[in-house]
Amino acid sequence: MFIEALKNIVITLVTILIFISAVELIAPSNKMKKYIQFILGLILVTVILNPIIQFISSGEKSVTDGIQSYEQVFSQNENKVNKGNTTNIFKNDQDKVDVRKKTFMNNFNKNCDNLLKNKYKDKTFKSEIDCDVDFVNITLNVKKLKIGVGENKINKIKKIVINKEVETTTKEENKEYTEMVNFISSELNIPKEKIEVYKLDE
C-alpha cells in the first residue's frame, strides 16, 4: 500500500518535471518567461503538497485502523497460550541464562589469563573458574579458580643433580605459584583459598 502510493508520487513528480523542462525550452526568451516560470513553480509546489495533504487528512484513520488490527491479533494469540507454551518459554529463558553464564565464564578465564600474561611474560596460562552468577543482582560467587601454568619458551637443558635439583626446582615453583595466587587474589578480589595453581603438562 505504502510502496504503491510512493511509486505514484514519484511518477507524478517526474512527469511534472519533464513537462516543466519542455515548457521552459519552448517558452520565448522575453519578459513572459519569468511569468511562465512562476506559474510552473506553483504547479510543482501543488503537486508536491497534494500527497502530503492527503496523508494528513487520512492519517488519523490509518493509525486507528492499525491499532485495532494489532489489538485483534494480540487478543487471538493471548487465547492460544497454554501450560505447554509456558514451560517452553521457561526452558528458553533457562537456556539463555546458561549461555550467558558460559559466556561470562569464558570471558573471565580469558581476562584472568591476560592479567597473568602481562605480569609473567615467559609463562602460559589456562584458567578455569567454577562459579555461580546472579545476573539480576549482579553478584558473583567463586567456588574455585584453577590456573594451569606452563613455560612459554624452550628452556636450555639444565644439569641435573639427583635429589638436590628436584627440591630446589620445587621450592622455586612453589614460591612463584604463591606469588601468582597473591597477585590474582588482589587483582580479582578472590580469596586465596579458592585459587589453585598447578603446572600444565608439557
The 10s digit of each residue's pLDDT in 33-58 is 888 888 888 888 888 888 777 777 66
The residue type found at 35 is Y
Q: Domain range holding 37?
A: 2-77
Closest CA to 147 of 99, 101, 182, 104: 182
Answer whether residue 86 is part of any domain: no
Q: Indicate if the alpha-carbon torsion angle 151, 157, 163, 167 is positive or negative.
A: negative
Residues 135 and 187 in one domain: yes
Answer whether residue 30 is part of any domain: yes
Cell of 147: 590456573
pLDDT tens track for 139-198? 778 888 888 888 876 544 445 455 544 455 566 667 888 888 888 888 888 888 888 888
The residue type found at 49 is L
17 Cβ neighbours under 8 A, 6+ residues apart: 44
Confidence class of residue 89 from pLDDT cuts 50, 70 and 90?
A: very low
Report the range of poorest mean pLDDT among 63-77, 83-97, 128-142.
83-97
Distance between CA 187 and CA 130 in Å, rounded? 18
Residues 99 and 165 in one domain: yes
Strand, coil or helix: 154: coil
Which residues does residue 128 pair with via DSSP β-bridges, in sequence order? 146
Residues 66 and 127 in one domain: no
CB atoms within 10 A of CB 128: 14
Q: How many domains does the chain contain in total?
A: 2
